[in-house]
Structures are given as C-alpha cells and as structure tokens.
Amino acid sequence: MERNEARVRIEKLRSQLEEYGYHYYVLDEPIASDAEYDQLMQELISLEEQFPEFISDDSPSVRVGGEPLPFFEKVEHRSPMLSLGNAFSEQDLRDFDRRVRQTVGDEVSYSCELKIDGLAVSLLYENGRFLRGATRGDGMIGEDITHNLRTIPSIPLRLKEPIDIEVRGEVFMPKRSFETLNKAKEEAGEEKFANPRNAAAGSLRQLDPKLAAKRNLDVFIYAIGNISGKDISSHHQGLRYLKEVGFKVNNESRHCETIDDVIAFTNSWLERRADLPYEIDGIVIKVDSVEQQKELGFTAKSPRWAIAYKFPAEEVVTTLLNIELNVGRTGVVTPTAILKPVTVAGTTVKRASLHNEDLIREKDIRLGDSVVIKKAGDIIPEVVNVLADLRTGDEKEFLMPTHCPECESELVRLEGEVALRCINPECPAQIREGLIHFVSRNAMNIDGLGEKVIEQLFSHNLVTNVADLYQLERDELHKLERMGEKSVDNLLEAIEKSKKNSLERLLFGLGIRFVGSKAAKTLAMAFGEMEKLQQASVDELLAINEIGEKMADSIVSYFQKPEVTELLSKLESLGVNMTYKGPKPVAAEEIVDSPFANKTVVLTGKLEALTRSEAKEKIEALGGKVTGSVSKNTDLLIAGEDAGSKLTKAQELNIEIWTEQKLVDVLNQ
C-alpha cells in the first residue's frame, strides 16, 4: 500500500473502531460483532507497524498497551481532588439538608448518584484529545497513569468535540472480571485480591500497561473538574454534557427535589446494589445548582455541597453450630465459630474467627446461639453480637479447654497475653502449621506443596520436620492422593529448586518468633551467612537498624536450642543454601568515598522525586544512617518542600542542609 493510501485507511479504521468501541463500551449497545472489531483492529495494528510515522497515542490500537514505564511521574492537580464528608444514617442526611438550606435557602434540589467503589482518577483533554490521566494521590499531587488509563476501552481517546476539559471519575473492576481474575490467580497459586477495589488499584499501579490492559477495567465519569468556554449551571446538566461529548456516565443518577426523595433513593439501593454488575459503597448526594455549590463552598477537606451516604455493612443472622479450636504455628489456640452457612455481602460465610476466650466471654457467645454476622471492612467475617432473646434454653456455654486439642499437653496463658498457648514443641499441630509456613510463598516458596499435601505427608509420617522435605522419595510421594507421575516430578523439582533460595527465605521459613519476612531480609543482608547469625549476640543484633530488643532476644534464644543447631546442619548437609544471594550491602570500607559514609542524615518536608523510604534506602546503601529527629549528632538535613521545625532547628545548629534536588544529583553521581 502507498503511504498516502495507508494514511487515509488508518484514519478510516480509527474512526470506525472508535465508533464501534463507543457503542460497545460506553453505551453498552454493540453495533458490530466482536469478530469484525478484532479484524479491523488487526488491520490497523499491522498498518501502523508498516507505517510507524502514523502511530498516534490516541489511536484505538493503544488499548492493547504500550511499553512499560520505569516509574510513575508525579502530577499536580490543577484544582485539588477532594474527598467527601460521610453520612451514615437518615438523620445525618437530614442534618446535611438543614445545613445546606441555612446557607442557600429552601429552593434547593439534589443530584443523587451511585458511589462507585473504585479509584478516583482525573482525565485531562486538550482540543478533545486525551492528554493525561492521574490518580488522586493526596488530593494535590497524584501519579501519572496515562499509559494504563489509555488501555481502558470506555475512556475516550478523542472526544466528540474539540474541547479543553478536565473530568473526574471512578475506575473500577466489574464483579465478573474480578471473579475471573481471582480464579486465574488461585489456579496459578498466586495471592488473590481481597475485593474488586484492590484489584482495580493493583491494576492501575502496574508499570506495564499490557498487564493493565488485560484487567477489564471500566470507568464512570461523575464530574467536570475544569472546563473552558462552556457555561454549566447544574450538576445534572453537566452529567448530560459529559455524556454528549463521549464519556461514560452512570445511568442511575436521579434528580431529587426533597431530602425525603433523597432518602427514599438511598434506601432503594440498599437491596438493589447486590444486582449491579459492579460494587458500590454508598450514594453521593450533590446540591444540583452550580451557583449554590459556589455559595456553599468548601471546608479544608471536602465540599459543603455534597455528602457520601455510606451503606451499613450488611448484617445477617445465623446459627452458631460449633466452636472449633485451631492450634497455630506458634502454639496459639484460636477458637473459630462454625456457622450455619449464610450469604453476607455476596459470599457464603461458614466460619468466623472468635479470636480468644475473652471475646467469647465478653459477647457471651454460646453454642447454638443465633448470632449476627457481618464482614469487617466487607472482607473478614465476624460475629457482631448474640441475639440472647432468641435463646431456647438449649444453648450451651463454651469452655476453653485446659489441654491442647492436638497433643493434650497443658495450655498456658503467657503473661500479658489474652491467647492460650500450647508450649509443647513436639505438638503435631504446631509442626504441621510450621511446615505449611516453611513452604509458603514468602518463605521457601515450594510450588505444589499446598496445605493439603503437607497434611497428607504429615499424616503418613513421611515428614516430621522441614529437613524431611528434602529427603522425600519418589515412591513415597506416589502413595499420596492425586499424585501422578507429572505432579511428583514437578514437586521434586520445586523442592530441589528451593535449595538454592537466598538465605532470607530460609530464615523467614524457620518461623523464629517476631521475625517476619522483612526482618529476615535485613538479617540475611547484615550477616550474609547462617553461621554468623547463629553466633550473633543480642548486642550485635541490636546494632542493626530495625532490629529491636524483643526480636534480638528471640533470635538468640532460638539459635541456642540444640535441636535448632541439629536441624540447620542437617539442612546444610542436604544441600540447602545458607547464604544471602541478594544485592550486596556495601561494606563500610568500600564506601568511605561516599558523601554519606558514617553520616547521620535527617529527611524532612515533602519529597517529590522519590519517596521517603526510597531516599532512606539509597542513603543507607551508601553508608549513611537516617534518623527521625535533628540533634547535634545530625550531619546533614535534606529539606523538601514545606520543611518546618526540623529545618529551623538544623539552621540553628549550623547543620549542613541540602535541597531534594541536590540529593537527587548526588545520588545520580
């Protein structure tokens, strides 16, 4: 094809695809088949490959995602992205209405909209072309996520009019897409997202837009941030205009004349929300007239002309069938409520943690009780209270056992703890849970060794400690349920591979009290080898930033145990790596040249180019020590925007002061 011909064809394909996409994704009324759309898209992509001079970032082909970014740029919002005040009851809504009418008089009407549970974004268009999109951030400064937003098919790349406009809306993941994504994650053995909101946030925070493109994100635009040359006098008129120029606007908004109508509208959604294909967490109520909005103005954080009515967490009643006791890795015995299955906020709930004995006493929870259940933060099921009036007299008080349900040794309540503990180191439950922890993702990360397999290995007596995992034989594994040739191969390979893990995984996997995965990394980096850590004293441990007394004591007493020494030498003889393999900490003598060598540095004010923790990490990697407050021991203060009292103090003490820019320059050297 000739160059000119290609240009015409590309433009034709673009407007055709744009039109198809608009009908499909924005209006939800397809006018072409998927096959036709895909075919035109393929043609466009291949023409753009042949004639790269015509590539444009508002071509529908960008929906598949371009090159990954190295990091997110910061973006200052032209006007701040505020949040909303909350209303939790009918009374709160009436109070809001009264406050509004006190200021603007009784001639007021409201626009009510669904409060979409996703992430606020700002989209900037110039001359009708999508220029830049950003997260809300702290309201003043967000992150540039244009590359990911371009992949969302309901975000128009070109508007129907060549206007300059900044709009705000909510990016979300539809319920169906969320379920599909989590299913795929489960099958891949990856951690699932807790809810669609987190899934949407995680997707928008991808540096690689090709990943974001696969996440099926969607958007509703709910406000005009800035617009030039257009007079809009009411919110509902604004929404209509947004729709006209090509934005996807939610269709469920309602113009209400009185607060009673508003309340009726909010109540009507309490039940209907479950039927929506996306999640909402409330209703947003806005004074409709733009002039009245101006009159009402803003508080420091939110507009006085709008409020968010938050739905109460859904509560349901069910029966407490039993209380089960679980012994965890550290011996803590946790009671769990076994419930008659009920649906709460979209999923079936069968169990809820009761945490400890004190909670059972406080709420007077008895076996057979009718209990009220809700999901805290809409995720974790919890027992709210007992409906004592519904008791028949057959309910039974629950007594915590005096002995471990697994090994029958006496349980103890350690000083200052509410938990009951089994302190028998041989307790099978603790060993089993310890094994599950050892193979888990952040520890040795052995694929194919899930809870079920561990339980079988344990009950067949094939594994009693973590070293046994490395001595498993092929024919032993075949005896387990659902262990074919292929699974056995994969499992043995994964076990073998884990031997090469860097030290911190093993350290975390051992399950030393108080040593989480982050501390394990710090320790591995600081000591480099297991043997050195085994010999470390409390003082040596305390000398490391981030290691406190409780952890230091726990580490020393762990390594003093003869059975630990034995286990570690066993693991070593089986070929398990005992050294740190990550990026090297720079040795003190290598960094005498560094401007931070042995310097005590304090960071203050707002940093823009890098986050506090990035700055800290970099300075520490170059031999500096970062502390929180300015004193005569401070060598250097890095002062970002709006630095306050620390800057003043440093000036008084004659301490060297750098701007953030200087820090960045020095780091770049």
Binding region for ligand IVH (CB under 6 A): 82-84, 113, 115-116, 120, 170, 222-223, 284, 303, 306, 308
Both tokens assigned to 322: 């039993």
Residue 116 Cα distances to 2, 174, 221, angstroms: 48, 11, 10
Residues 6 or more apart whose CB falls under 8 angstroms from that of 669 comprise: none
Cβ 197 to ligand IVH shortest distance, Å: 10
User: Amino acid identity of 307?
Assistant: I
Cβ 613 to ligand IVH shortest distance, Å: 25
Instruction: Return the axis-axis angle of helices 90-104 and 259-272, rounded to nearest 10°.
Output: 150
CA 263 from centre of chain: 33
Pick 251 or 459: Cβ nearer ligand IVH: 251
Nearest to 267 by CA among 90, 119, 423, 387: 90
Cβ 621 to ligand IVH shortest distance, Å: 36
Which residue lies nearest ligand IVH, judged by its C-beta? 120
Cβ 652 to ligand IVH shortest distance, Å: 41
Pick 276 or 621: Cβ nearer ligand IVH: 276
Answer for the pair 25, 154: CB distance below 8 angstroms, yes or no: yes
Beta bridge partners of 142: 75
Distance CA 127, CA 179 (A): 38
SS3 380: strand
Pick 64 or 201: Cβ nearer ligand IVH: 201
Answer for the pair 442, 464: CB distance below 8 angstroms, yes or no: no
Cβ 343 to ligand IVH shortest distance, Å: 25
Pick 306 or 523: Cβ nearer ligand IVH: 306
Pick 117 or 660: Cβ nearer ligand IVH: 117
Supply the DSSP string of 530-596, one letter for each residue: HHHHHT--HHHHHTSTT--HHHHHHHHHHHH-HHHHHHHHHHHHTT---B--SSPPPPGGGGTTSTT
Beta bridge partners of 445: none
Cβ 85 to ligand IVH shortest distance, Å: 8
Pick 306 or 555: Cβ nearer ligand IVH: 306
Concerning whether 175 is annotated as a catalytic residue, the answer is: no
Nearest to 428 by CA among 389, 398, 455: 455
Both tokens assigned to 82: 């505020």
Beta bridge partners of 143: 74
Answer for the pair 439, 449: CB distance below 8 angstroms, yes or no: yes
Rg (C-alpha) for the chain, rounded Å, is 30
Torsion of CA 355, 358, 361, 367, to 10 degrees: 30
Both tokens assigned to 187: 């099958």
Pick 72 or 222: Cβ nearer ligand IVH: 222
Nearest to 655 by CA among 629, 635, 628, 633: 635
Cβ 180 to ligand IVH shortest distance, Å: 23
Pick 306 or 444: Cβ nearer ligand IVH: 306
Distance CA 632, CA 655 (A): 8
Backbone angles phi, psi at 633, to 5 degrees: -85, -10
| Per annotation, catalytic residue among 74, 115, 175, 363 | 115
Answer for the pair 508, 520: CB distance below 8 angstroms, yes or no: yes
Pick 248 or 432: Cβ nearer ligand IVH: 248
Pick 266 or 356: Cβ nearer ligand IVH: 266
Would you tell me how many other CB atoms lie within 10 Å of the CB of residue 598? 12
Cβ 283 to ligand IVH shortest distance, Å: 8
Nearest to 391 by CA among 368, 364, 362: 368
Distance CA 142, CA 156 (A): 21
Supply the DSSP string of 345-370, one letter for each residue: TTEEEEEEE--SHHHHHHTT-EET-E
Q: What is the DSSP letter of 61?
A: G
Pick 7 or 254: Cβ nearer ligand IVH: 254
Pick 223 or 515: Cβ nearer ligand IVH: 223
Find tokens 């991808």 and name the residue.
Answer: 206
**Kind and range of the H or E run holding 93:** helix 90-104
Residue 618 Cα distances to 391, 535, 634, 663, 667, angstroms: 62, 29, 18, 10, 8
Cβ 303 to ligand IVH shortest distance, Å: 5
Q: Look at strands 110-116 and 280-287 and give their pairing.
A: antiparallel
Find tokens 């008791």 and name the residue.
Answer: 391
Distance CA 523, CA 548 (A): 12
Give the residue numbers marked as catalytic. Answer: 115
